[in-house]
């Protein structure tokens, strides 16, 4: 059993409204990027990527990492197990339905973590009871209690979520919550599973729970909001205002459908408006931008330019009047400083004479801790790039590191060489050489609609894997005409979707690398589709 702190009375003791209680409360940040976030269509991550994100979350200062849903697939189990075994500095949590085999499997994956939490869930709303579970209210209470008891037999830290709680009748919700706490739940999470509630309504619901559930003081109340109506952050903050001591959220707000509440927005709202919320977290806000970049690169989900806190334009002032005001006094138009959330003043950092230590240090600043072997590989790629480009920007470094990380997906096929000739009114001619198991294979193709299409044909011919390209995006990772071009693509193979990323100063090479990354995922069976179980 792990040695867990009991629910902190301070997190619950707030007399609800921020305006009538000035004591600063500590709010626990429960990050579910690796579980609910990974349920974003196309966002699945491989083991190495999940480990990388988990250690960046520890550096960021999250209290709890929900590492996955161990029963969902062997891959999910293994990533929770490895995170529990190697990542230190946060509680590691695994999700389970209220079923013995789910809970035992979750514990099997978690048991090596010094601080482990089992998170069990069961739907409670009338719609879910009637149409999904076909269970009576009594049966729901019985199963919830059995699930919590089973989890509590493994570890002291047990979270219970009445799924679709925000559409559950008040009386029934109180009954289930009270029974779950009696059975041993130490955190009660109240999810707005379908993103339906409003700030006023969730405030009343949390207040109602605190007023009506007699043993509520024995557990931490937690909020978990989805963003279907664009209110996930506002709703989570309203729940905090009503006494929630834990917020469940994801980096960049990624997650099922429209996503979850965005961690960076919640944290900066509480920090910037401390005067209003009277709350604090353990988050080091300077790590927000690096972690946001890491998650965006790893999942292939871009952050919109105008995204609050971490978007590229979040601190850009275009209007002359604003610029003039800023020059006179920054606070005329800026409520936070870019440095406070981790934007650096200048991102022009390294050149061809920079050494390994400078590269490692810069990568760390950008949220990526490299092992000795990774550093060596990235450094070689960095030197090659520095020969082609005079100035190396942060974006170049992120792109190089991501390329190395994506190559950790069973690099069955690697690129040896390629040559392209193409022109207006001319059939493109592409010659590609790939390596697999120390053997080289070359294919010359004179067909296709342009050199990129021809490269696809050549790679398909050599690997014998046919794909349908569903999405193809090229963007420049940095500034300048010699910028690194990043290709992100999504392909379909035998009914499953796979993602691939490739970076190079040459767009044909980026395309071939992205294609090989996707093909290596096909070979390794790392699809981007949700797992085989119905996801919560």
Residues flagged as binding site: 36, 224, 226, 260
Map residues 305-334 to x or -, x wherever contact with ligand KIV holds by CB under 6 A.
------------------------------
- Number of residues interacting with ligand KIV: please give it, by CB under 6 A: 10
DSSP state string for 324-337? HHHHH-GGGT-SS-
Q: How far is the CB of 31 from Zn ion (least distance, A)?
A: 13
The 10 Å CB-count burial string (b at 16+, else e) for 467-504 is beeeebeeebbbeeeebbbbbbbbbbbeeebbbbbbbb
Q: Does 121 bind ligand KIV (CB under 6 A)?
A: yes
Asked whether the beta carbons of 362 and 396 are under 8 A apart, the reply is: no
Which residue of 125, 193, 246, 488 would you call a contact of ligand KIV, by CB under 6 A? 193
Task: Assess 161 for contact with ligand KIV (CB under 6 A).
Answer: yes
Residue indicated by tokens 């090659």: 384
Min separation Cβ 193 and Zn ion, Å: 6
Q: Which stretch binds ligand KIV (CB under 6 A): 1-9, 185-193, 264-272, 514-522?
A: 185-193
Task: Calculate the CA dihedral of residues 358, 294, 406, 521 and round it to 10 degrees.
Answer: 170
Q: Does residue 38 belong to the site contacting Zn ion (CB under 5 A)?
A: no
Binding mask 195-234 toward ligand KIV (x if CB under 6 A, else -) reads: -----------------------------x-x--------
How far apart, in whole angstroms, are the C-alpha atoms of residue 457 and residue 169?
Answer: 57
- Among 528, 34, 22, 536, CA closest to 263: 34
Question: What DSSP string runs through 170-200?
Answer: HHHHHHHHHHHHHHT-SEEEEEETTS---HH
Alpha carbon separation from 252 to 145, 261, 266, 295, 399 (Å, rounded):
34, 8, 11, 8, 19
Q: How far is the CB of 109 from ligand KIV (least distance, A)?
A: 16
25 interacts with, out of Zn ion, ligand KIV, none, CB within 5 to 8 A per kind: none
Q: Does residue 164 touch Zn ion according to CB under 5 A? A: no
Which residue, 161 or 299, has its beta carbon nearer to ligand KIV?
A: 161
**Which residue's structure tokens are 């994506």?**
406
Work out which of 94, 147, 191, 395 binds ligand KIV, going by CB under 6 A.
191
Which residue number, 122 or 375, has a Cβ lying nearer to ligand KIV?
122
- Work out which of 63, 163, 178, 490 binds ligand KIV, going by CB under 6 A: 163
Answer with the entry of Zn ion, ligand KIV, none that 163 interacts with (C-beta below 5 to 8 A by kind).
ligand KIV
* Under rule CB under 5 A, residue 509 binds Zn ion: no
* 5 half-sphere exposure, CB direction, 13 A CA radius: 11
Q: Which of 7, 199, 502, 536 binds ligand KIV (CB under 6 A)?
A: 536
- Yes or no: say if 207 and 21 are a contact pair by the CB < 8 Å rule: no
> Which x/- pattern over 18-37 shows residues binding Zn ion (rule: CB under 5 A)?
------------------x-
Which listed residue (12, 18, 29, 36) binds ligand KIV by CB under 6 A?
36
At residue 248, φ and ψ (nearest 5 deg) are: -100, 130
Measured CA to CA, the distance from residue 112 to residue 107 in angstroms comes to 9
Distance of closest approach, residue 189 Cβ to ligand KIV, in angstroms: 6
Annotated binding site for Mn(2+): 36, 224, 226, 260
| Residues β-bridged to residue 471 | 490
Q: Residue 192 Cβ, how far from Zn ion at the closest point, in Å? A: 9
C-alpha pair distances (Å), 399 with each of 296, 338, 484: 11, 22, 8
Q: Which residue number, 128 or 293, has a Cβ lying nearer to ligand KIV?
A: 128
Task: Say if strands 116-123 and 246-249 run parallel, antiparallel, or are unpaired.
Answer: unpaired
Please, are residues 378 and 370 in contact by the beta-carbon 8 Å criterion? yes
Please identify, using beta-carbon distances, which residue of 210 and 224 lies nearer to ligand KIV. Answer: 224
How many residues at the interface with Zn ion, by CB under 5 A? 1
430 SS3 class: strand
Quick check: 33 and 60 in contact, CB under 8 A?
no
Q: Which residues pair with 262 in a beta bridge?
A: 250
CB of 185 vs Zn ion, minimal distance in Å: 18
In the window 74-113, what residues touch ligand KIV (CB under 6 A)? none
- CA separation for the pair 31, 62 (Å, rounded): 7
Task: Between 184 and 500, name the residue whose CB sits nearer to ligand KIV.
Answer: 184
Q: Which does 161 bind (CB under 5 to 8 A by kind): Zn ion, ligand KIV, none?
A: ligand KIV
Q: How many CB atoms lie within 10 A of CB 376?
A: 12
Q: Which residues bind Zn ion (CB under 5 A)?
A: 36
Q: Which residues bind ligand KIV (CB under 6 A)?
A: 36, 121, 161, 163, 189, 191, 193, 224, 226, 536
């Amino acid at each position: 059993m792990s040695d867990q702190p009991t629910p902190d009375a301070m997190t619950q003791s707030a007399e609800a409204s921020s305006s009538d209680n000035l004591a600063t409360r500590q709010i626990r940040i429960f990050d579910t990027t690796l579980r609910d976030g990974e349920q974003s269509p196309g966002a699945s991550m491989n083991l190495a990527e999940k480990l990388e994100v988990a250690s960046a979350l520890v550096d960021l200062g999250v209290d709890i990492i929900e590492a996955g849903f161990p029963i969902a697939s062997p891959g999910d189990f293994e990533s929770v197990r490895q995170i529990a075994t190697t990542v230190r500095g946060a509680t590691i949590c695994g999700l389970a339905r209220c079923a013995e085999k789910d809970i035992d499997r979750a514990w099997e994956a978690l048991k090596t973590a010094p601080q482990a939490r089992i998170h069990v869930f069961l739907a409670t709303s009338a719609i879910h009871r009637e149409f999904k579970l076909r269970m009576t209210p009594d049966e729901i209470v019985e199963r919830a209690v059995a699930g919590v008891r089973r989890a509590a037999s493994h570890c002291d830290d047990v979270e219970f979520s009445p799924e679709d709680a925000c559409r559950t009748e008040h009386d029934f919700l109180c009954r289930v919550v009270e029974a779950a706490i009696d059975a041993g739940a130490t955190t009660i999470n109240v999810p707005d599973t379908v993103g339906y509630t409003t700030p006023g309504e969730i405030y009343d619901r949390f207040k109602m729970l605190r007023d009506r559930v007699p043993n509520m003081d024995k557990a931490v109340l937690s909020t978990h909001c989805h963003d279907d109506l664009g209110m996930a952050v506002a709703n989570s903050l309203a729940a905090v205002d009503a006494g929630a001591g834990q917020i469940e959220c994801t980096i960049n707000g990624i997650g099922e459908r429209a996503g979850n509440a965005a961690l960076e927005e919640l944290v900066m709202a509480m920090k910037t408006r401390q005067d209003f919320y009277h709350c604090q977290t353990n988050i080091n806000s300077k790590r927000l931008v690096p972690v946001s970049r890491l998650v965006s690169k790893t999942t292939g989900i871009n952050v919109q330019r105008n995204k609050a806190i971490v978007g590229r334009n979040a601190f850009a002032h275009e209007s002359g009047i604003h610029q003039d005001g800023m020059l006179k006094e920054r606070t005329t138009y800026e409520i936070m400083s870019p440095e406070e959330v981790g934007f650096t003043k200048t991102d022009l950092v390294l050149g061809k004479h920079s050494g390994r230590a400078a590269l490692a240090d810069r990568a760390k600043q950008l949220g990526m801790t490299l092992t000795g072997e990774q550093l060596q590989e990235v450094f070689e790629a960095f030197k090659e790039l520095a020969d082609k480009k005079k100035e190396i920007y942060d974006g170049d470094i992120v792109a190089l590191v991501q390329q190395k990380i994506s190559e950790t997906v069973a690099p069955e096929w690697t690129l040896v060489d390629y040559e392209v000739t193409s022109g207006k009114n001319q059939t493109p001619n592409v010659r590609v050489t790939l390596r697999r198991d120390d053997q080289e294979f070359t294919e010359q193709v004179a067909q296709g609609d342009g050199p990129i299409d021809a490269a696809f044909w050549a790679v398909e011919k050599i690997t014998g894997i046919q794909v349908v390209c569903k999405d193809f995006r090229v963007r420049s990772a940095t500034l300048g005409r010699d910028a690194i071009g990043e290709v992100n693509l999504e392909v379909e193979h035998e009914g499953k979707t796979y993602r691939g990323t490739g970076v190079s100063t040459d767009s044909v090479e980026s395309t071939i690398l992205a294609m090989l990354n996707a093909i290596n995922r096909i070979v390794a069976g790392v699809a981007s589709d949700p797992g085989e179980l119905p996801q919560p």
